[in-house]
Amino acid sequence: MPRSRQELWSSGCSLWMFPQIHPHLLSFSPKVDSVDGKAATVSKNVLPCTLDEATQKLISLIFSNDMFKEAMECMNLDIKKMPLGKLSKVQIAKGFEVLEEIEAAMNTPNQRNRLEELSSKFFTTIPHNFGRNRPPVISTKEIIEKKKEMLMVLADIELAQTLKSETEKAQEEMIEKVPHQLDQDYASLNCKLSLLDKKSKTYKIIETYLKATSDKYYNPTIVNVWEVDRDMEAERFAEHDSLENRRLLWHGTNIAVVAAILKSGLRIMPHSGGRVGRGIYFASENSKSICYVRTSNRTGVMFLSEVALGKEHTITEDQSSLKKAPSGFDSVVARGRVEPDPSKDTTITLGGKEVAVPQGKPKEQRQFSDSSFSNSEYLIYKESQCRLRFLLEINTRH
């Protein structure tokens, strides 16, 4: 979704969503025999995978090293100088530190030479591949924001690598039977994914929601839908049981950060910001959120979250300084000039609560005809006010 931690990062390859930072990369060595110092080998019986075929394919995709490498290359990162196995929280933190130095230098007159020096330092810290082109000077706020967003994407790739490292480390233990690698990757997420029956009422509602609010350019089609149940998220979300006005809203993302989101949820980070401030952004139109989806071989992932909006504060112009809803309100809605026809909304019951789900096509909203937002954006400023409910695997035309 837009801005904040979910800010769009655009590269020459595609559109990117940036996530939260998860600095937990671990390193490990092969299990070594204490007698001769050689790596121990033991015949292991790998158990059959217990996941259904669709879930196996999903887990394989969101932990795919080829997919991660593709994501890094699209951000012009040099995967030879900075291979997946060498990503570290220290390196990413140093990248942020250099960007902060550049920001400080930008606020001082006549600092061109200093900016060139610091830009070189940044590209040494976070190796890029510009081909034969000379590395650019980082000299504008826009470039700095894009580089911050890139580092946040990189941080979530790091988390996925950490999770994979942990499962591989477990396999190094000298035991005769080990779970299938996909089972271990799935277990590392601490998140239950339940494949929805395509004949179920809920699936049909989601399918209608997508078709009614998508556009012809991306022309997304659903491959599969999973119900999501993140560990401890229900308990956190229960803090807002008293809030009414709940909606199922879209959240688009980069496929390279899906594992991190399933593990840690949607988060608000200090480096985030956007047209409606530092919060988590959602949309009622698929056509809005899909702009922030980064696919792998035209396969992408989108989330539908239950959002406890409560009392909405409506705006029609940018308010980028917001860090919380105004006093007396629970959320902020930047009203767009169009909105899915509210008269077509339906409801589903989730966790004993009625949740509104748009089903109508976008309709002009005359009362917001002068809004600076073409599509509505829904903002919450507390992470606990949303709960991931569904994960959609989609195919897109572009």
Give all domains of the chain, ordered by start, each with its CATH number.
20-25+49-180 (1.20.142.10), 191-395 (3.90.228.10)
- Looking at residue 36, what is its pLDDT? 35
Q: Which of 13-17, 195-199, 212-216, 371-375 has the lowest mean pLDDT?
A: 13-17
Task: Tell me the three-class secondary structure of the chain, residue by residue.
Answer: CCCHHHCEEECCCCEEECCCCCCCCCCCCCCECCCCCCECCCCCEECCCCCCHHHHHHHHHHCCHHHHHHHHHHCCECCCCCCHHHCCHHHHHHHHHHHHHHHHHHCCCCCHHHHHHHHHHHHHHCCECCCCCCCCCCCCHHHHHHHHHHHHHHHHHHHHHHHHHHHHHHHHCCCCEECCHHHHHHHHCCEEEEECCCCCHHHHHHHHHHHHHCCCCCCCEEEEEEEEEECCHHHHHHHHCCCCCEEEEEEECEHHHHHHHHHHCCCCCCCCCCCCCCCEEEECCHHHHHHHCECECCEEEEEEEEEECCCEEEECCCCCCCCCCCCCCCEEEECEEEEECHHHCEEEEECCEEEEECCCCEEECHHHCCCCEEECEEEECCHHHEEEEEEEEEECCC
How many C-beta neighbours within 10 Å does residue 385 have?
A: 25
Give the Å distances, CA to CA, from 387 to 3, 6, 8, 101, 238. Answer: 19, 16, 21, 36, 10
84 Cβ contact list (under 8 Å, min separation 6): 65, 68, 69, 72, 157, 161
In percent, how much of the chain has pLDDT > 90?
77
Average pLDDT, the chain: 88
Please report the pLDDT score of residue 1 as a whole number: 46
Give the per-residue pLDDT at 89: 92
How do residues 32-48 score in pLDDT, each as one tens digit?
333 333 444 455 788 99
Stretch 183-199: mean pLDDT? 97
Q: What is the mean pLDDT of residues 49-63?
A: 98
Q: What is the pLDDT of residues 339-397, one digit of tens each?
A: 999 999 999 999 999 999 999 999 999 999 999 999 999 999 999 999 999 999 999 98
pLDDT for 6 beyond 50: no
> Buried (b) or exposed (e) across 328-366, using 16+ Cβ within 10 A?
eebbbbbbbbbbbeeeeeeebebeebebbbbbbebeeee
Confidence of residue 222 (pLDDT cuts 50, 70, 90): very high
For the ranges 41-50, 92-101, 181-190, 275-284, which has the lowest average pLDDT?
A: 41-50
Mean pLDDT for the stretch of residues 53-69: 97
Give the pLDDT mean for 57-81.
95
Q: Report pTM.
A: 0.85
Whether the pLDDT of residue 266 is over 80: the answer is: yes
Is residue 107 very low, low, confident or very high in pLDDT (cuts 50, 70, 90)? Answer: confident
Q: Using the structure block, give the residue that is written with the tokens 């078709």.
A: 211
Confidence at residue 9, expressed as pLDDT on a 0 to 100 scale: 36
Q: Is the Cα dihedral 104, 107, 111, 115 positive or negative? A: positive
**Who has greater pLDDT, 273 or 343?**
343
CB atoms closer than 10 angstroms to residue 197: 10
> Which is the catalytic residue, given 7, 70, 377, 383?
377
Whether 339 is catalytic is: no
If you average pLDDT over residues 85-97, what whole number do you get? Answer: 93
- Above 80 in pLDDT, residue 230? yes
Are 143 and 61 spatial neighbours (Cβ–Cβ below 8 Å)?
no
How many of the other CB atoms lie within 10 Å of CB of 204?
A: 12
Mean per-residue pLDDT, 54-60: 98
Q: What is the pLDDT of residues 281-331, one digit of tens each?
A: 999 999 999 999 999 999 999 999 999 999 999 999 999 999 999 999 999
